[in-house]
Amino acid sequence: MEESLPPSHTPLSASSNSLPPDSSWIILDEAEFIRNENDWSGGKLLEVVPKAREALRTVSCTPVNIAVMGDAGNGMSSFINALRGIGHEEEAAAPIGVVRTTLTRASYSSSHFPNVLLWDLPGIGSTTQSLENYLREMQLNQYDLFIIIASEQFSMNHVWLAKTIEGMGKKFYIVWTKLDRDLSTRTLYQEDLQQNIRGTILKNLQEEQVCVPLIFLVSNLDPSLHDFPKLRDTLQKDVTKLRCHGPLQKLFQTYEKSINHKVTSLQEKIDTQSFQDVLGIRNADDLEECLKAYHRHFGVDDESLQRVAQITGTDFPHYKDLMKSQDLQAVNQGSWNLPFMNCTVVQAFPNLLSYIPFLGNYFIHYLRGMKQKYFLSVVAEDTKTILSEVLKFIPHESQLGSIPKGPFSSGRQDT
């Protein structure tokens, strides 16, 4: 697949203003969400699916910035080339060599990772500045995800980077890049060697109380071996999550407001004729009829859920099983006072009070209101639960392509 690189592979000076924007919280334009909220004020669950899909299609164009960093000489540049699926000898490749070659920040794109920038940062120790100055100059808050590269040893610089990134609340991987060299010079079996490397990394991180990150042991010379395929797949998924998490959360919050608005509106109408008109019911005391009406009103009736399941490629029973209001029996089991209110003695009590002016009617309305409010709250919560689940399964076009497997011709290791 042909690379689409210039000018994004041009190195950038560490002091340049051409830095990635701060996209630590990727969200859509606020005005667009306000428009969506107005559109959904009377909408149902089924209407959310195409709107959410369109929102994710838009956000798939949002750039994700990934910083690749580590000690000088650990193989950051050749790792970036391997991840992009190109050989070191190609014109668009990141420069590598047996000496330190990355002295300034540089960004690289790849057709395998649409709208992703891989930032090759100068290795720690490649300049004379202190660690604190290095962090400040690299402006780590500008990146969305970090890949810490190590080889031969896992130094305190690596631990320091991991601790700093963890303190920022951002995700990072540890990638050991020269496993082929380790296997050729050690007498240990491959599994024992890999276990020793992982153990050393974990021990150094735990001593500084750093959380256990994802660790990948790879060879830059052959991305088809060891943990490289797993690393590639994991990165694809995490890039998608970075793009989608903020928008999906905002979409959920927007529609949640619509659900709450419906609940408030119906609660205000419970004691009026318009309540029955809105729900399309004849008898407000027929709880089974009311339950079905609530399902239709919020768009979680069987017909709507079957259509949602078809669109999202999910089984209908999956959504149905999430509901506490599947049927009248399920609703009754979820409340201790509803069966009590429906028992024969309590049902007969209003008839006795009806002979007392005002008191009987008041009690009847109060009892009916309690039932309706409970049904309303249960169905509304079911709608929110299903909405959250639906947003996990909506198909969208932000999935990344696959990187072709196969060895590269260059055998050099870079800085």
Do 293 and 153 fall into the same domain?
A: no
What pLDDT does residue 66 have?
Answer: 94
Do 37 and 70 fall into the same domain?
A: yes
pLDDT averaged over every residue in the chain:
76
Most confident option among 29-38, 127-136, 312-321, 326-335: 312-321
Q: Report yes or no on 343 lying in a domain.
A: yes
Do 292 and 193 fall into the same domain?
A: no
Of the two residues 355 and 393, the one the predictor is more confident about is 393
Distance, CA of 333 to CA of 406 (rounded, Å): 58
Lookup result for tokens 């690749």: 68
Q: How far is CA 117 from CA 58, 67, 143, 146, 230, in A?
A: 18, 8, 10, 12, 20
Q: Which has the minimum average pLDDT: 57-66, 86-95, 339-348?
A: 339-348
What confidence tens digit (pLDDT) does each residue in 261-282 have? 889 888 888 877 788 888 888 8
Beta bridge partners of 69: 148
What confidence tens digit (pLDDT) does each residue in 36-45 have? 555 554 556 7
What confidence tens digit (pLDDT) does each residue in 98-108 have? 444 456 788 89
Tokens of 358: 């005002």
Q: How many residues does the chain have?
A: 415
Do 106 and 232 fall into the same domain?
A: yes
Do 123 and 201 fall into the same domain?
A: yes
Which segments of 160-213 are extended strands (E)? 171-176
- Confidence check: pLDDT of 318 > 50: yes
Q: Report yes or no on 1 lying in a domain.
A: no
Alpha-helical (H) ranges within 270-358 are 273-279, 287-298, 302-312, 316-321, 328-333, 337-342, 344-353
Q: Report yes or no on 34 lying in a domain.
A: yes
Please, are residues 146 and 173 in contact by the beta-carbon 8 Å criterion? yes
Do 65 and 196 fall into the same domain?
A: yes
Reply yes or no: is the peptide bond before residue 404 cis, omega within 30 of 0.
no
- Confidence check: pLDDT of 30 > 80: no
Do 237 and 372 fall into the same domain?
A: no
Most confident option among 5-9, 90-94, 353-357: 90-94
- Confidence check: pLDDT of 361 > 50: yes
Please, are residues 76 and 93 in contact by the beta-carbon 8 Å criterion? no
Please, are residues 414 and 99 in contact by the beta-carbon 8 Å criterion? no
Q: State the sign of the Cα–Cα–Cα–Cα dihedral 401, 402, 403, 404.
A: negative
What pLDDT does residue 407 have?
Answer: 35
Distance, CA of 15 to CA of 97 (rounded, Å): 24
- Confidence check: pLDDT of 55 > 60: yes
Last residue of one domain, picked from the residues 185, 213, 242: 242
Confidence of residue 14 (pLDDT cuts 50, 70, 90): very low
Please, are residues 309 and 392 in contact by the beta-carbon 8 Å criterion? no
What's the domain count of the chain? 2
Q: Report yes or no on 340 lying in a domain.
A: yes
Q: Cβ contacts of residue 258 below 8 Å, gap of 6+? A: 37, 40, 41, 42, 43
- Confidence check: pLDDT of 351 > 50: yes
- Confidence check: pLDDT of 145 > 70: yes
What pLDDT does residue 292 have?
Answer: 92
Last residue of one domain, picked from the residues 179, 209, 242: 242
Do 47 and 114 fall into the same domain?
A: yes
Do 208 and 290 fall into the same domain?
A: no
Do 179 and 147 fall into the same domain?
A: yes
Least Cα distance to 63 among 19, 100, 101 occurs for 19
Distance, CA of 384 to CA of 406 (rounded, Å): 46
Beta bridge partners of 214: 173
- Confidence check: pLDDT of 411 > 50: no
Q: Cβ contacts of residue 196 below 8 Å, gap of 6+? A: 188
- Confidence check: pLDDT of 386 > 60: yes
Do 115 and 263 fall into the same domain?
A: no
What pLDDT does residue 25 have?
Answer: 39
Confidence of residue 18 (pLDDT cuts 50, 70, 90): low
CATH number at residue 193: 3.40.50.300
**372: domain range?**
255-393
